[in-house]
Every structure is written in structure tokens, then in C-alpha cells.
Structure 1
Amino acid sequence: MLSVAAGTAVAARAGFLPFGDDCRDDAVRLDVVAAPAVAPALRDAADHVREKDVTSDGHCMDIRVTAREPYKVADELRLDGAKPAYDVWVPDSGLWVQRAGLGGGRTEVSPAGNIASSPIGVGMVKSAAESLGWPRKTYTWAELAGAATGGDKLRLGAADPARSASGLLALTKLGASARASGSKDADTRAAATAKALSSRTSDSDSRLLDTLARDASGTESGNPRRNQALILSEQASFAHNAAEDEKHALDLFYPKDGSPVLDYPYTLIRENDLSTDQSRAALRFMTLFSDDAGRRILREHGFRTDGSKPSAALVTAAGGRTPQPYTQEPGDTPSDKEVQETLGMWTITVQSARFITVVDASDSMRQLVPGRGESRMDVTKSALLQALSGFTDEDEIGLWEFATRLDGARDYRELVPTGRLGDRRGDGTQRDRLTRAFGALRPVPGGATGLYDTTLAAYEKARKGYVNGRFNTLVLLTDGVNQDPGSITRTELVSRLRALADPEKPLPIIAIAVGPDADEREVDQMARATGGSGHEVDDPAQIHSVILKAIMQAGTRQ
């Protein structure tokens, strides 16, 4: 049973009266804000209270329900000095209650129970579902994401995970599913999926269904931006199908490794400021949803009222069919850490990036990589080209190289100024210039590793070029320790990097130590002075995945 049952016992002990006579003159006003999906059910419940003269301690209840996106309410409650003009908040997930408590605001937020639930799945237009073998074929989250993001044949959309509990919980589950599959590159795959989804996200759950293809085949060739599949809740699919004819209804996949669940917490706001009558009326309204009338109202709007045991009629109306595992237990609720890491990965992965790539061109880069028959420089260049292909035309990237004896007294040289990859420059785009420059990188004969002066100069340049609204970073690749005796010391470098770092304008260094001669502790100390991280790879081919991993780590700290 849902935890609203606990509230029922509280109401019984408090002596609430279910019905009353003429009590309207002293009705208790209760203002409720709710997620748009559940607001209609709450309004119907408020109408039921009014029509049936449901009372609290002999007082009628004047309940007024307003629909608001949960992320907006959570952000409002986080603000210091917030003065919410409502008494009860019903978001679609406890994630928002947690988020509301993360800021500097002092608004008291008190969850009292959960009134409903709805699992999250993937709804598809009929042609797309049939192509994947619905309903007989079942998939894990990772398999569904792979099928949907492996090309343009199936276009998958989602609501922005920064603004949607469905999107965030599904993306968290997707990452866990990839790791459970035993894939060595699970985090990289999750980031790639996030990148693919980012081009098809909607601002909120309320707008997601507007992105569906509308013609009979589900392709809507005249508008390739239309989606054929959506990450959404069972209730959202139920509501869509109720408003559409059979041709435009969704079929719903329930991943076999368990669906995360929206849990609709009933939350009191400023509980200590509520009058006794208001507090008791708020609890009385909550307990309605454990009564037959309240549960019926919720079911009519497509919500589950008994955990993982939905009625067959509800599942069928939402687009589910046997043998889809619609009664599969959701599994462990993701931890706060997992959710925050996913949100950080999403934020950083989908933001446009701006960074300088600084590549070691010292003589040691000509050494062969064991077992590959290629030099460190050759493998590094291939890895950088692979990484470049993962960035969009909106990303801004530049290139430096460094070694002693490279450019007179300086250990470094700018090869390609930082610019937007899609911008045309001369006979090609910025991407073309970088591709050629990567291919032309060569070790400098006799050149040593001029690491410290280069790092400081590149960081100063990146700081001057900082752009708000982008993920700004410096990617540093080196296969050795500093070998320039005339440079600043490591202590001086770390001190100056700390002075340049600005928490309001984060610019972390991602430092990668390549090969056995590099010192991971050294590069990590340098990187951490800026809020970044150091990493060690035995094979330069690992550079691409390390960059993605470091970006995800940086995202959790911003």
C-alpha cells in the first residue's frame, strides 16, 4: 500500500468528521500546487469534497488546486526569503522535495505520505513499436536506448532531466542498466546516449507529447524533428491515449530490468505556520486518497494506487500488453549520489563546451606503445580525432602543442585558436582546421616536457576567453613530468592556478598522464587546484573515454 495509509491513521486518531451539515460559512481555505499531470485528479478530489460536504473537524474545506511544474516550485522554495503562497505541494517525485532542501531557503517542507505512483517506460507510435517486436519482445533500459539511439530510424525524445523527474530517473536507470550489462565503457555509453537525447529534449513533461509524429506511419517525413518514441510515465501515456484515437495511441514498453517510479509525495509547506484548522484540513484531504472515492479518482486519471499491482484495464489503456513486464518491481531507488552524478553528467554533456586541448610534443612521444606498433603521438592523434567526432558544431575547441625548443624561449605554441567547430575559416570549418592540425602533430627532436609554464599560460588564456553558459575547461595531455629547469616550480604553479580559479566561473583542468613516464599525482595536483581532475592511461587510445569520464566528474561539482 502507498504510504498515505499512515496519514489515514493520523486522521482517525485526530477525530476528523467525514461529513457535515451547513459548514460553508467557516470553510477552511487550502491552497495546493501540484505537478500538471496530477493536478486534474486533485481538482476532481476537491470537487468531490465540495459536493459531498466532506469536512475536517466540522469545517468545510475550500480546496483550490493550481498546476505548476515541480522544478519551478523546488527552485522557488530553495531561495532564501521565499514566501510561498500555498499550503500543500504535490510534485510528481520525491526528487523535487530533496532539491527544495538543497538551497539557502528556510521554507519548511514536510512530506506526509505518497498518494499515487506511476512507473516510467518508453512509449512508441505503433509503427516504431512493431519494428521492435512489441509486445512480445522485451528489452532492458540499455537495450532500448541502444535501439532508439543507434541511428535515425527511431527517434527517441525525453523531457529535460534537469526539469523532469521522468527524464532524470530514466537516465539514471539507463546508466545503471549499462553498468549491469558488464560493459567496460558503460559510463561512456551513458554519456553518448545523453548527448543523443539532448537534441530531442523538451523543456518539461507538459510539452513532451507535443513532439510526437502525427501521421499514420509515425515518420512524418516533412518534419524530422518529430519523435517516434518518448521516455514517459505510464500515467502520461494513459492520458495521451485517452485523448487520441487508436491510430495515434502509444504502445508502452516496460523495461525488463525494472522501471523507476514517480511517487507523488503529499507535502506540507510551512507546517509550523499553518493554523490548527489548516493543518488538520490538509491531512484530511490527503487521507481522501486512501478512501475508495479518492482511489477511484486517481485510477480514472491513470495512476496506480496499489504499488506495483495495477489493474489490467489501466495498463491496457496506457498502451501496455502482456507479456510486457508491467508488474516488474522497480528495484532499488537510486541513491542521492547516483541521481546527482547523472544530473551532473547530463548538464555537462549536453552543454556546449569551450576548451583548449594542450598536447605534449616532446621527443618521448615518438616512443612505441607496447603491443600496438604505433608511437604515443600517433595513437594520441587518433584518440583526439575520435574525441573530436563526439562534439557538435556548437562546441568551441582550440589546440596548443608544447615542448622545450619549440618556439624560442617559450615551451608552447598555439596551433589553432579556440573557435566554434561549425564556423567556416578559409577553405573549411574550424573542425576541418583541427582535423588537419591533429594529423600534423609531430614530436620535437630533442624537445623535453615544458609542463609548468605551458599549463599556466594555457590556463590564463582559457580564463580570458571564458564564456558564460558553456562548459569551459582545459584538456592537458602529457607523457612525462616537467623537464624545463628554467620554469616556475610546481608549488608556484599550483598557487597561481588557485588564485586564477573562480567558483563563479568554473574552469577545471582535465589533465591526462599518458604512459609509464608520466606522474598522475603531479597532474592531479595541478588539476585539482582548479576544481578539475588528473587521470592516468597506459594506452593513449583510452584518452577519448577518459575525457568523457572527467567531464562527468566535473559536472557533479558545478
Structure 2
Amino acid sequence: MDARSARHRSTAHRGIAAVALAAASGLALAACTGGGDSGTTADGGQGFPDDGCTHVTIATSSEKVNMLDALAEAFKESPEHEGLDTCATVRPINVSSGNAARYLTSGEDWPTSDESLWPTLWSPASTVWTDRVAAAASANLVGEPASFTRTPVVFGMPQPMAEALGWPDVQPSITDFAELCQNPDGWGSVGKDVWGSFKISKTNPNTSTTGLSAILMQSYEAAGKTEGLTTADVDAAAEFSRVFEECVIHYGDTTGNVLSTLYDETQNGASGSGYVSAVALEETSLLNYNQGNPDSHTVQPGETLTPPKTKLVAIYPAGGSMWSDNPVTVLGADWVTDEQRVAGEAFAAFLQTPAAQAVLPDYGFRPLDESVPLGDLFTAEYGVDPALPAVTLPKPEVGVISTAIDQWTQVRKPSSVMELIDISASMDEEIGDGRSRLDGAIEGAQSTLDHFRSTDEIGVWAFTTGVSSEAGENLTVIRDVTALGSDRESLDSSLDDLRYAQRSGTPLYDSILAAYEEMTARAEPGRINAIVVLSDGEDTDSATSLDSLIARIGEDATEGGDETLVRIFPIAYSEAADQTALQRIADATGGQLFDASDAERIDLVFASVINNF
């Protein structure tokens, strides 16, 4: 029996392991609709072709999938491949760096039932993640990581906004951003009153390299250092980072989701300023955006990309930038066979060759080989300056990074969230793993409670026909939106009680409108205000039409934005859900739709939702 067969587990076991991991770490695969971790191959298919070759999966962050797919094809023609005893087929799968790190440190199998997708190679965005796995689990597990390309972390700004701050002659600093955020006049302080307040988008540092780099850059800025960042420096930077986080509109697990929303707004005639002023992202993601690929998805043959009407330009902060150094390593996991290890080592060696390095600039990555020309992408036309950043901020020690992540949990922007749960009869339908849709919704809601701080506000409403409460007809108030405090255990029990609640029709649109009006009335500018809708998405009993709902909830998303905007994040629990309607609801408020129709991914998707708060 080979190593792969010896580690065979039942589908149910892997599902339980993945759920336990998500609950323990607060991590998840991103929603299919958001272009996040999907476990799919670069061409959207599952598994490998029946080609008689050794099959090698490389787990990688989303922005490298296109590039690694091209490199995998080039590898077939390389001397490194010729030196193998048997042919090898390499395929990338999209797994965020932070998620992959936690899967590897969990001690469990890779959380997918398709063993062909269990990775031989891992290429996170930064050696930060390989260092963390080595420290938390085993150095042998991550092998010997070697960087093969790099990209700096920058702030992308719509070009007119950057010009208002003096770009391209001036590269604003993180302190400049913080001061603009704090200024009660917002953009009005530089003569642009119509743009409203200054808004930043960042990703969650628990899952995203960009989010992690951003908080480290904040600590460097507060300390006035360009090297030698210490734990004491991070501790001393807490207040500075707390103020900076006040600019954040909401967090996310990928920059692609934010960039997609910004792109849609600009293409529909808006400037995008009402949504966000600056996005912390990697330079390569900005290059993808300006080519018309905001979520860095795998571009299919014959697909035409449409550049945005307003491009983003890269701000390389005056105080310095960190770099994503993109290592690749052969994993020391016991599911990796000898044949896969040898093939993986050959592919990793190929990535260091001039032939492979020459491919990188075409995909917006800077080669390590400085003799390789950067080409036409790395120009002002696409919003970047290859001569910058002027200052490189080195990666701190593992302990310093851990301190920064722990600090962010305390200083991140507070949230006020209502969870709106569909308890109609249709939610009794099974989702394929012995649970009903309602079971998945309840368990997903329960899994979020440890994520919220005691000072965060959380409320729960449930809806179906034939019930009433102080919230109105067809609504049941499980918990008012108030500070969570010490109520985790009692709220957990109240959510369990929903399994026995009366179930009838689905007044989805009426309920969303009532929840939106409630949250809008109490929304505060200092919080992330949001509604999470857990439903199978099939409205049957609303007096409010979809168009009327969209008109109402879209009123606040005006030019310049509203500091108390309530964003809606629907989670669709059924393949039969009207995802077009749910997408329109999310888009109207700058939220995001999540697809939980796959039973194996419901718990993981829900954890991805809460990365926004």
C-alpha cells in the first residue's frame, strides 16, 4: 500500500476535519463567486488528465495561478523535465497563503476529498507563511523554500485621487493617509469635498499576505524605522495602527473581491470614489486590474479583457514597502510520493532558470534575475514605476509577526453585524451531508461567535411567514444588535433553538428591507456596519419587489459615499437560489455574495464571510 492509499480517509472524515479546522482557526476557503480558494485547477476543472505522467499539484495564492499555469506548460519543454525518468504534469490550485499555512499546521489531511489536489508543492505569497509553519509545526514540513519572483506591496488609488495628493511627484506616506482619514473634512481638506471621507480597503492578515504586510508597514511607520522592527516597536505602534484602521471600510480575505466591486462601479459610470480611496494590494494585482482582470482570475482562451475607465496607480509609501517574495517548496507531507517529490524538485529548479524568469514579467511579477527586461507592463501606462519602491522594509522575525497579528485583532475597526436567518420550510431540505440547509446556517452562525470581540455588536433576526415581533411581521428577534459582551454561550443556545421554530413561507425581500432600515437607523461611522443574510435565496412571500428593494438599499451608496453605509453579504444555501437577485442585493451596498450550495464548503464559506469584519 503506498503513502497516498495509507492515508485514505472517508469523505465524511475529511469534511469533519475541515470544519474543525475552520472553527478552530477562523479561516476558510473564499467564496466561489469571489474568485477565492476553490480547489479548482487553473482551467476550472478538477483533477488531472489521464496522461500517464506524475501528477504534481502546487497550492498557490490566486494572483500566481495564471503565471504558474504558463510555467507548467513551459516546464514540459525544459531540460529539468527531460531529466526526469517519467513525464510530469504540474497544475496550480488557488489557496490563500494564510489558509494553506493553517491547513499544514493543523496536522490533518488537506481539506478536499479529491486526493489528486493534495499539494506536492506550495508557493505562498511570502516566506512569512513558510516561517510560521516551520515554527508552529515542523521545519521538515515546509522543506527548503526558495523565492523565484517578487512583487512589492503598494496602495492602489484611482488616478485622480492620487493626483490630488501630489502624485506622481509625491509618494504619500502611511502617516499622510492616517491624517487624511482623521481630518473631519476628509477629501475636502485637499479641495475635493465631493469625494467625501477617505476610505481604505485592507485584507485580513490572518489569511492574506497583503493584509499582514500592511500592518507590519504600519508598525515600521509608527516606529520611524526602515529595518530592525521589534516586538516592542509593534506594541508601541498600537495606537497609530488603531487610528489607521479607522479608515477601513471593511476587511476581506482577498483584494480581488474589493477590486471587482471597484471595477464594476467604474465601468457603470461611477468614479469608484464612493466605495474606496486606496486599496492595500500587491503591485501585480494592480497591474491585473488595469488590464481589466480585477480578481486576477484565470484568463480563458478567447476571453477579452476590458481595462477600467479609471485606472489605479501605485503609491509606494514614502516610508517604505514590504515585498512578497513568493517562495516555492516541496512539502514534507506524508501524502507526497517519491515520484511527486522528484518531479516537484525539478519544477522548483526550473523556476530559477532564465527561461522561467523571462515568463514572469508578462504576468506582472518582477523576476529575481535582474538581467530579464520588465517589458511593457511595468510602465506609467499601467500605473507603476519600476524604479520604486525607494525603500525596502525587511521581513521581521517570526515572533514580531505574531505580535502584529495578535495586535490587529485588538485594534481592528469594530463591527456592528446583524445575521438575518431564513427559517422557512425550504431550509429543511438536505444539503448532501446529512444536514439541512438550516443546520448549515445555524452552525455557520455559531462558528462566528468566537471571532467577535466582546465590544463588537451582533444581533440575530430570523424570518418566515406567520410570525411577528417588535421588529415587524414575519420576523423573530433572537438577539437585538448590541455589544456581544459575555453572551456567546447564551446566543449559541438561542441559535440552536431555531431548529424547532415554526417554518412556512420566505419573505426574503421584505426581511432584508426591514433589517436594512433597522441597521441604517443605528449605524455608526466608527464601525463596520453589515448584514449577513443566510438563505436559500428563493423569495416567495414578499410584498416588496426586488427592484424596489434595490432602489431603497442603493440610495445611500451615492457619490462620496456614506460613512454609515450598511453593506449586505448574502450567503446562498441552494443551487436553486436566485443568485442573480442576491448578487444585485450585494452589489447595491458594496457587499459580496457567497455561494454555500456545496455541502463540503458551507462551514468554510461562512468563515470566509466573517473575514470582512
Shorter-normalised TM-score: what interval? Answer: 0.5 to 0.7
Partner of 1:78: 105
SS at match of 1:109: coil
Q: 1:249 aligns with which of 288, 308, 311?
A: 311
Name which of 123, 144, 156 aligns with 1:123: 156
Distance 1:191 1:112 in 2: 34
Q: Check conservation: 1:117, 1:307, Cα contact below 8 A.
A: no
Matching residue of 1:157:
201
**Matched-pair contact (CA < 8 Å) for 1:90–1:266:** yes
Does structure 2 retain, via aligned residues, the 8 Å contact 1:109–1:269? Answer: yes
Q: Secondary structure, in 3 states, of the residue corresponding to 2:71?
A: helix
- Shift, 1:36, TM fit: 0.9
Per-residue deviation, residues 414-466 of structure 1 (Å, max 9, x unmatched)? xxxxxx9976xxxxxx9xxxxxxxxxxxxxxxxxxxxxxxxxxxxxxx99x35
How much does 1:168 deviate? 1.1
- Whichever residue aligns with residue 68 of structure 2, its letter is L
> Relative contact order (C-alpha < 8 Å, sep 6+): which is higher?
2
Secondary structure at 2:256 match in 1: helix
Are 1:190 and 2:216 matched, yes or no? Answer: no
The structural deviation recorded for 1:299 is 1.2
Alpha-carbon spacing, 1:223–1:234, altered in 2? closer, same or farther (3 Å): closer
The offset of 1:56, in angstroms, is: 3.2
Structure 2: distance between partners of 1:233 and 1:469? 42
**Structure 1 pair 122–221 and aligned structure 2 pair: CA distance change class (3 A):** closer
Matched with 2:282 is: 233
1:316 matches 2:384: no
Match of 2:332 among 257, 265, 270: 270
Task: Indicate which of 164, 168, 172 corresponds to 1:135.
Answer: 168
Deviations 1:374-409 (A, max 9, x none): xxxxxxxxxxxxxxxxx999459xxxxxxxxxxxxx
Q: 1:300 to 1:217 in 2, by over 3 A?
A: closer
Residues 128-527 of structure 1 correspond to what in structure 2 (within 5 A)?
128-148=161-181, 150=183, 151=186, 152-180=196-224, 186-197=237-248, 199-212=249-262, 214=264, 220=270, 224=274, 226-243=275-292, 244-245=306-307, 247-270=309-332, 274-306=336-368, 311=374, 313-316=376-379, 319-320=382-383, 326-350=388-412, 352=414, 394-395=456-457, 465=486, 467=488
Cα deviation, residue 57, structure 1: 2.7
How far apart, CA to CA, are the structure 2 residues paired with 1:118 and 1:132?
24
| Unaligned stretches of 5+ residues in structure 1 | 1-23, 355-390, 397-419, 424-429, 431-461, 471-558
Q: Which has the larger radius of gyration?
A: 1
Assess, with a 3 A threshold, how the Cα gap between structure 1 residues 271 and 51 changes in structure 2: closer, same or farther.
Answer: same
One-letter identity of the residue aligned with 1:229: A
Q: Which residue of 2 aligns with 1:38?
A: 64
Secondary structure of the 1:339 match is: helix
Instruction: From the superposition, tell whether residues 145 and 115 of structure 1 become closer, same or farther in structure 2 (CA, over 3 Å).
Output: farther
What is the TM-score when the length of structure 2 is the normalising length? 0.49
CA contact (8 A) 1:141 1:177 kept: yes
Distance in 1 of aligned mates of 2:139 and 2:131 = 13
* Structure 2 portions without partners, runs of 5+: 1-49, 112-117, 187-195, 227-232, 293-305, 417-452, 459-478, 492-613
Q: Which amino acid aligns with 2:69?
A: R
Determine if contact 1:87/1:268 at 8 Å carries over to the other structure: yes
Q: What code does the residue aligned with 2:214 have?
A: A
**Partner Cα distance (1:45, 1:351) in 2:** 40
The offset of 1:208, in angstroms, is 2.9
Distance 1:469 1:227, change over 3 A: farther
Helix, strand or coil: the match of 1:251? strand
Deviates more, 1:238-247 or 1:300-309: 300-309
- Cα distance in 2 for residues equivalent to 1:82 and 1:269: 13
Q: What's the offset of the Cα at 1:222?
A: 9.5
Q: Percent same amino acid at aligned positions? A: 20
- Offset of 1:259 from its aligned partner? 0.9
Question: 2:171 is matched by which residue type in structure 1?
Answer: T
Task: Give the match for residue 56 of structure 1.
Answer: 83
Distance 1:255 1:62, change over 3 A: same
Contact between 2:154 and 2:317, CA under 8 Å: does it hold in 1? yes
CA contact (8 A) 2:133 2:139 kept: no
Q: Distance in 2 between matches of 1:68 and 1:235?
A: 17
Contact 2:267 2:308 survives alignment (8 Å): no
> Which whole-Å CA distance do the structure 1 matches of 2:490 and 2:240 have between them?
25
**For 1:346-372, what per-residue CA distance to the aligned partner results, in whole angstroms no more than 9, with x for missing partners?**
112237599xxxxxxxxxxxxxxxxxx
Name the count of aligned residue pairs: 347
> Which secondary structure does the structure 1 equivalent of 2:156 belong to?
strand
Mapped to 2, the partners of 1:50 and 1:207 lie a distance apart of 33
Question: Counterparts of 1:1-16 in structure 2 under 5 Å?
Answer: none
Tell me, yes or no, if the aligned pair for 1:251 and 1:318 is still in contact at 8 Å.
Answer: no
Alignment partner, residue 97 of structure 1:
130
Structure 1 residues 176, 468: closer, same or farther in 2, change over 3 A? farther
Q: 1:277 offset after TM fit, Å?
A: 3.5
Q: CA deviation at 1:90?
A: 0.8
Inter-CA distance 278–214: structure 2 relative to 1 (3 Å threshold): closer
How many angstroms does 1:176 deviate by? Answer: 1.5
Deviations 1:501-531 (A, max 9, x none): xxxxxxxxxxxxxxxxxxxxxxxxxxxxxxx
| CA distance in structure 2 between the partners assigned to 1:70 and 1:136 by the alignment | 34
Q: Report the Cα distance in structure 2 between the residues aligned to 1:337 and 1:124, rounded to whole angstroms.
A: 32
